[in-house]
């Protein structure tokens, strides 16, 4: 039976690390890091995520600002708001919650955020730095996945890691981070032939596809670490992951629950990234 990788407990540790650092940074530099979160429209899931991000920022003692724009807002107005925050010296980190309404070009919005304030690590400057193996802002969910894996104490070097999903936000960056730690990495996706044959090779299996219960116990190698990035809502309103927890926990050595696994870690790493943005902007703080 697998041990539970408790993202809620680990995220509390990370947020406490940030909380101590905020005190130190304020004492040293005379101001606190400031995270600015923009939400457009009334997507209920996004509203929950954003509320939790602002709540976490308050817990760590950093400043946060929430900008709520109606779903009817024009792309031009949103880009104008981002430009304003880019040039506001009191703002260290900018997050635009995705998805955006259909009439707004998400790519344009991502490109508009100043790279040094791009707390999500989505700007092409940060993405290219990541792929070149240079210092950069690492996207929050992949960073959280790595911290969860590290908390098992298992050495990633030389292990076979299978990432199911190839999104820019999770699949691709998590694969690169695993590669940086000398895992042998396979990226599987919706066109992968015989997914089970591929996932059964995995010492570390990361599922990030958004398909409820896709990964079944028979697809898991005995003793694998299973990380479930999926957050899906079932018809009865319950949250469930991409991993069928009941059958996979019979096979895995470690497994993340949904909720309470990767989700809280994403928010905790967002706090870490805000500190990073602050340090990159304050002379002498790095």
107 φ/ψ angles, rounded to the nearest 5 degrees: -60, -45
What's the chain's length in residues?
A: 286
244 is catalytic: no
Closest to ligand GUN by CB, 168 vs 182, is: 168
201 is catalytic: no
Across the beta sheet with 204-207, the strand order is: 3-4, 254-255, 225-228, 204-207, 160-164, 184-188
CA atoms of 33 and 176, how far apart (whole Å): 28
176 is catalytic: no
Q: Summarize as ranges the residues that interact with ligand GUN (CB under 6 A).
A: 95-98, 120, 140-141, 169, 266
- Tell the smallest beta-carbon distance from residue 155 to ligand GUN (Å): 28
Closest to ligand GUN by CB, 43 vs 192, is: 43
Residue indicated by tokens 């707004």: 104
Residue indicated by tokens 């802002």: 137
Catalytic residue among 118, 120, 242, 244: 120
Residue indicated by tokens 């469930």: 240
Catalytic residue among 15, 32, 81, 97: 97
> Which one, of 204, 245, 209, lies nearest residue 221 by Cα?
204
- Tell the smallest beta-carbon distance from residue 268 to ligand GUN (Å): 12
Closest to ligand GUN by CB, 174 vs 202, is: 174
H or E stretch at 161: strand 160-164
- Tell the smallest beta-carbon distance from residue 167 to ligand GUN (Å): 10
Closest to ligand GUN by CB, 96 vs 187, is: 96
Catalytic residue among 53, 159, 176, 272: 53
Residue nearest to ligand GUN (CB): 98
Closest to ligand GUN by CB, 251 vs 272, is: 272
- Tell the smallest beta-carbon distance from residue 42 to ligand GUN (Å): 15
Residue indicated by tokens 């635009």: 96
- Tell the smallest beta-carbon distance from residue 262 to ligand GUN (Å): 11
CA atoms of 144 and 10, how far apart (whole Å): 10
User: What angle do the packed helices 124-132 and 171-180 form, to 10 degrees?
Assistant: 30
Residues serving a catalytic function are: 53, 97, 120
């Amino acid at each position: 039976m697998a041990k539970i990788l408790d993202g809620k407990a680990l995220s509390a540790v990370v947020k406490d690390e940030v909380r101590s650092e905020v005190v130190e940074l304020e004492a040293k530099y005379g101001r606190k890091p400031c995270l600015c979160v923009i939400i457009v429209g009334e997507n209920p899931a996004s509203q929950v995520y954003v509320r939790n991000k602002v709540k976490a920022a308050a817990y760590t003692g950093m400043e946060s600002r929430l900008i709520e724009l109606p779903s009817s807002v024009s792309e031009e107005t949103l880009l104008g708001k981002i430009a304003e925050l880019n040039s506001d010296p009191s703002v260290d980190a900018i997050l635009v919650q995705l998805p955006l309404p259909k009439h707004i070009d998400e790519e344009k919005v991502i490109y508009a955020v100043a790279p040094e304030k791009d707390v999500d690590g989505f700007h092409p400057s940060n993405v290219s730095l990541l792929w070149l193996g240079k210092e950069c802002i690492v996207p929050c969910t992949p960073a959280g996945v790595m911290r969860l894996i590290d908390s098992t104490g298992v050495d990633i070097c030389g292990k076979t890691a299978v990432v199911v999903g190839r999104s820019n936000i999770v699949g691709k960056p998590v694969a690169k981070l695993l590669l940086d730690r000398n895992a042998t990495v396979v990226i599987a996706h919706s066109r992968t032939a015989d997914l089970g044959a591929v996932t059964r090779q995995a010492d570390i299996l990361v599922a990030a596809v958004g398909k409820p219960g896709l990964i079944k116990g028979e697809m898991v190698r005995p003793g694998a670490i299973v990380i479930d990035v999926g957050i899906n809502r079932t018809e009865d309103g319950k949250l469930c992951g991409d991993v069928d927890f009941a059958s996979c926990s019979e096979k895995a050595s470690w497994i993340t629950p949904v909720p309470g696994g990767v989700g809280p870690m994403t928010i905790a790493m967002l706090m870490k990234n805000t500190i990073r943005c602050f340090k990159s902007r304050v002379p002498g703080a790095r």
